[in-house]
Structure 1
Amino acid sequence: MILDIVLFVLGLIFILIAGELFTNGIEAIGDKLNLSKNFTGSVLAAVGTALPETILPIIAVLFFAETGHEIGVGAILGAPFMLSTLAFPLVGLTIITASLMKKRNFSINIEENGIRRDLAFFLFAYTVALFIVPFENYPVKIITAVFLLSLYIFYVYLTLKSDSEGMEEVEHLYFAPKSENPSLFIMIFQTVFALVLMIGGAHIFVEGIKEISLKFGFSPLLFSLLVAPIATELPEKINSVLWTWRGKDTLAIGNISGAMVFQSTIPVSFGILFTQWNIEGLALISGIFAVVAASFVMVLSFASKKLIPIGLSIGIIFYLVYLYMVLTQNGIMN
């Protein structure tokens, strides 16, 4: 048990360091290439930090037979669930905390069209994946997977072409602290290094928390749905909290909402094609909770920028309810 706790803490430290390096590198690249804040946050940062939780189900499904399929499906479903019910609330609560400490304004500073576009794509794609795919009809599964992949390509195109503000002044690159204009190569190298450290840290973290969690009798699917994504989604959470604390809300929200679009199209397409994709029980409930939590943010984005932090925070209720349901079903809270 002591070794498991050490792995847990060590993995968390690696992820925290990687998150700081990654946000710094992504900001520098976005500024260097004159990319908008929307594209930098919703595509570059989102895809980069989504890699750990994308790799996990692919490895599980391809190399670990039936149990691997359960872990894979759980990890695929767990990512959108964690993003909408844990990552969004962390940003909302960070805004609330920082405003109470007089570190920033309570009103969120985002481009509403960007978050609405992201959430609209997510809600549509994830609803199709959860409720429309007949898991026994393979030709329809192929068509659905191709459709979702095409949908993500269309989303990237719209994000690149959409109106958005340019990058704000960025901090010095950690790998070139004395250079006013570091090369694109060193920026990319720092970002890739951060991703490698992030993935390694996530795997160490998962290994530690896996052994601890299995002692409580979690099934492979529920473990991968509820526990593993906490580690694999940490990059988004850490990056977004750092950006939010610094008042860079468009990057913070785009990092999460863009990852939600990615997770509801790319990994889901893989799951539809290579697993039975028979979503039911607590797995289905997690998907419903993710859709409802994201819908709250979407609705409040049309009301007021001062209400969006509250909408972001509401998702934590669904996470706690779901956690209670899982613990109860596994007899831990009986």
Structure 2
Amino acid sequence: MIILSMIIGFFLVLIGGWFFTNVMEYISYKYRIGASFVGAVLSPILTSLPELVVFLVALLIYGGAPGEDVAVGTVIGEPFVVSTIIYPIIFIVAALGFYLRYRSDVVLEVDKVLMIPFIVVTALFPTVLLPALINSFPIRALIAALLLITYLLYIYVMRVRQGLAIEDYEGLYALKVVKASGFGEWLLLTVQLVLSVALLFLGSRAMVEGIIDLSGSLMLNVMGLSIVIVPTATVLPESITAIIWTLRERDTMAVASLIGEKVLYSTVYPAIALIVTRWSLSIEALVSVMVVEAVSSVMLYHVVKGRLTWDVAVIGLMGYVVYILTLIHCV
């Protein structure tokens, strides 16, 4: 039953994130919002909703040490999974696209404006460690406020530097299903949005419950397990988007959708954690933070040159192996 609960939660979160992203991309297309802003800001805000729901469900419904461990693992784990698994997959997709002649090469050519989110991540992601180190609430609140202000400034800068609007949007799924029914466009949009949020909530709750039960039955560290399992499921919406953009050789949007998500986990989520959790950390969490910093630093170096190469994927996979070995050692 534990594995079944996690599988059901996995697919509910995936479907919910897919529907939700479709709704938001439709709104973006309709109102002519620039591609760079969509990739690095709007898309990450939308696709991070599964992780946000898991975070809130773990804290507010389950609570206690297990719930907080899942919340911490979710926040720290998403950038870790992206850095160690998703980037290598993106390069594999690029190679496949080159073989199928969808792409002209296997190197990701990106706009140098992506230096902005990479600098934010490299400089601020270690703030996820602060809640465990600072006991003074006034200081925690001050740092949380500064992190939120930093994120707002980031949004403003990326909005100023936005690119051209998306042109080849595939259409709202609800409109395709009931296009002959006579329902209004906004009603269908609202129905799809509500459905997606409900799926995200139910799937997240099932996943949190399954992770806590599985860790107990296998005598594994809850936080260590959640760093790998939860983000692997909830990162799928933005990963699928990035894969499609990579095949189409829209490398800037592909990379922006992933690094923009990591910006959230360097600012907004640590800010929330500073206020509402005790945020104790395990050795697995510390290792995952170091891996994210290493990969992000290497990628920042390449973004300055406007080209991402295969060494990013190799370093990420090495970091994943180190983490798994650490998790096994701590059992």
The one-letter code of the counterpart of 2:57 is I
- Of 29, 41, 51, which aligns to 1:43? 41
Segment drifting more, 272-281 vs 282-291: 272-281
Query: C-alpha offsets along residues 177-209 of structure 1, whole Å, 9 cap, x if unaligned?
Result: 359xx9466446535533443443344345456
Segment drifting more, 117-126 vs 8-17: 8-17
Kindly tell me: are residues 238 and 216 of structure 1, through their superposed partners in 2, closer, same or farther at Cα, counting changes over 3 Å?
farther
Kindly tell me: are residues 253 and 240 of structure 1, through their superposed partners in 2, closer, same or farther at Cα, counting changes over 3 Å?
same
Query: C-alpha offsets along residues 120-139 of structure 1, whole Å, 9 cap, x if unaligned?
Result: 11122213443698423332
Superposition map of 1:161-310 within 5 A? 161-177=160-176, 183=185, 186-187=188-189, 189-191=191-193, 193-208=195-210, 211-279=213-281, 281-305=283-307, 307-308=308-309, 310=311
The one-letter code of the counterpart of 1:45 is S
Segment drifting more, 166-175 vs 191-200: 191-200
- Equivalent position of 1:311 in the other structure: 312
The one-letter code of the counterpart of 1:33 is Y
Superposition map of 1:23-62 within 5 A? 23-62=21-60
Deviation at residue 95 of structure 1 after TM alignment: 1.6
Kindly tell me: are residues 205 and 130 of structure 1, through their superposed partners in 2, closer, same or farther at Cα, counting changes over 3 Å?
closer
Query: C-alpha offsets along residues 24-74 of structure 1, whole Å, 9 cap, x if unaligned?
Result: 433322221110112212222211121221232333334522333333222
Distance, in Å, in 1 between the alignment partners of 2:37 and 2:191 is 20
With the length of structure 2 as denominator, give the TM-score of the two structures: 0.84
Segment drifting more, 140-149 vs 266-275: 266-275
Q: Helix, strand or coil: the match of 1:315?
A: helix
Distance, in Å, in 1 between the alignment partners of 2:16 and 2:58 is 24
Distance, in Å, in 2 between the alignment partners of 1:21 and 1:165 is 24
Segment drifting more, 183-192 vs 170-179: 183-192
Distance, in Å, in 1 between the alignment partners of 2:212 and 2:280 is 24
Query: 2:36, 2:158 within 8 Å by CA — same for their partners in 1?
Result: yes
Query: 2:13, 2:50 within 8 Å by CA — same for their partners in 1?
Result: no
Query: 2:295, 2:316 within 8 Å by CA — same for their partners in 1?
Result: yes
The one-letter code of the counterpart of 1:29 is I
The one-letter code of the counterpart of 2:100 is M
Kindly tell me: are residues 93 and 211 of structure 1, through their superposed partners in 2, closer, same or farther at Cα, counting changes over 3 Å?
farther
Segment drifting more, 55-64 vs 313-322: 55-64
- Equivalent position of 1:125 in the other structure: 124
Distance, in Å, in 2 between the alignment partners of 1:72 and 1:122 is 20
Distance, in Å, in 2 between the alignment partners of 1:20 and 1:56 is 16
RMSD: 2.9
Segment drifting more, 203-212 vs 31-40: 203-212
Q: Helix, strand or coil: the match of 2:167?
A: coil
Distance, in Å, in 1 between the alignment partners of 2:299 and 2:141 is 31
- Equivalent position of 2:70 in the other structure: 71
Matched, 1:328 2:329: yes
- The unaligned stretches of length 5 or more in structure 1 are none
The one-letter code of the counterpart of 2:32 is N
Q: Helix, strand or coil: the match of 2:170?
A: coil
Q: How many pairs align?
A: 324
Query: C-alpha offsets along residues 107-147 of structure 1, whole Å, 9 cap, x if unaligned?
Result: 4354231x221111112221344369842333221111111
Q: Helix, strand or coil: the match of 1:215?
A: helix
Matched, 1:108 2:108: yes
Query: 1:39, 1:160 within 8 Å by CA — same for their partners in 2?
Result: yes
The one-letter code of the counterpart of 2:243 is V
The one-letter code of the counterpart of 1:117 is I
Segment drifting more, 286-295 vs 88-97: 88-97
Distance, in Å, in 2 between the alignment partners of 1:167 and 1:308 is 26
Distance, in Å, in 2 between the alignment partners of 1:144 and 1:169 is 41
With the length of structure 1 as denominator, give the TM-score of the two structures: 0.83
Query: C-alpha offsets along residues 276-316 of structure 1, whole Å, 9 cap, x if unaligned?
Result: 345462221211111111111111122352x3455256322
- The unaligned stretches of length 5 or more in structure 2 are none
Segment drifting more, 196-205 vs 66-75: 196-205
The one-letter code of the counterpart of 2:288 is S
The one-letter code of the counterpart of 1:219 is N
Kindly tell me: are residues 249 and 67 of structure 1, through their superposed partners in 2, closer, same or farther at Cα, counting changes over 3 Å?
same
- Equivalent position of 1:144 in the other structure: 143
The one-letter code of the counterpart of 2:28 is G
Matched, 1:96 2:95: yes
The one-letter code of the counterpart of 1:255 is S
Segment drifting more, 167-176 vs 318-327: 167-176
The one-letter code of the counterpart of 2:298 is F
Kindly tell me: are residues 212 and 137 of structure 1, through their superposed partners in 2, closer, same or farther at Cα, counting changes over 3 Å?
closer
